[in-house]
Amino acid sequence: FSVGGFDCVLGNPPWDKINLKDEEYFASIKQEIADAPTKSKRTVLIEALKTEDPDAWHAYMKVQHFHDALSMYLRNGPRFPKTGVSRINLYSVFAEHGCFLLAPTGRLGYVLASGIATDDNNKDLFWYLVDKSRLAFVFDFENREGIFKDVDSRYKFALLAVTGNKLESSQADFAFYLTNMEQLEETERHFTLTREELYLLNPNTKTCPTFRNRAEAELTKYIYKRVPAWELQEKTDEWPG
C-alpha cells in the first residue's frame, strides 16, 4: 500500500454486496414487481415498464448503471487489488481502503463482519496484514446476547485492529465465539498466532483458523507441527526427480 497519513482510522463500514436486488429496489415503488414469484416473471414486469411507466424504467436503469459501474471500478481499478474480487462486499473494500489511509505509525479499528479474517474473498487482504506483521487483533462475536439489539442474533461480527507499517507485531491476538464484551477479559479465550503458525495451519487458504480457546489453538498447532498440512502444488505431468 502507499504511505497514508492518518494516525487513527475508526469505523463501522456498511455490510452490503455490490449487486442491485430487484426485490428490494421495487418494494417501495412497484410492489407487484417485488412480489413476483420468480425471477423470470420479475424480468418480464420490469421490461414492461419501458412502455407502461418510462420514468420508473429510466430511474431503474440509472440505479442499475451505478451498481454496474461501481462493481467494474472496484474489480478493475488499481485501488482495491486485494478485495475487489468475486462477490464484493463493501466492508471488505472499506477495510482495504482504511489500511491504505494509515500513517506508518497509525492504527485502525473497525467493526465489521467476521468474514474479514475467515472468508475466501478476503484472504489476500488478511494474508497481506499477517505477512507484513500489521495485524494486531481480531475479536469475533456472535450476537446471541443482543450486543446489537436491532441485528439478528445469528450475525457474526468482529473487532479488527491494524497497525501502520512501522508498528510491526510478531504475532496477532485472536478470540472467537464471544457473546459479550466481558468475555474479552477472559485470558483463556485468547490465543496468538505468528505468521509462520498461520501458514502452518492454513497453507492453502491463507485464512484464519478459528478456535474457542487457547487450549484448542495450542493443541492444533502441536499436531500440525508434527504432521504438517498437505500443500497444493502446481500441476505437472512429471514425477519429482
Instruction: Tell me the pLDDT tens digit for each residue of 126-185.
Output: 999 999 999 999 999 999 999 999 888 989 999 999 999 999 888 999 999 999 999 999
Write b or e for each residue in 207-225: b if 16 or more Cβ atoms lie within 10 A of its Cβ, otherwise e. bbbbbebbeebeebbeebe
Q: Answer whether residue 238 shows pLDDT above 80.
A: no
In tens, the pLDDT along 47-62 reads 999 999 999 999 999 9
SS3 151: coil
**CB contact at 8 A, 114 and 139:** no
Q: Residue 61 corresponds to which cell in the numbers above?
A: 436503469
* 205: exposed, middle or buried (Cβ count in 10 Å: 0-12, 13-18, 19+): middle
% of the chain beyond a pLDDT of 70: 94
Enter the DSSP assignment of 183: G
Q: Answer whether residue 2 shows pLDDT above 50.
A: no
- The beta strands (E) that lie in the chain are given as 6-11, 102-113, 135-142, 156-163, 171-178, 191-194
Binned at pLDDT 50, 70 and 90, residue 241 comes out as low
Q: Answer whether residue 232 shows pLDDT above 70.
A: no
pLDDT of residue 229: 82
Q: How many CB atoms lie within 10 A of CB 201?
A: 22
- Total-model pTM: 0.85
Contacts of 128 (CB under 8 A, 6+ apart): 82, 134
Q: Answer whether residue 236 shows pLDDT above 80.
A: no
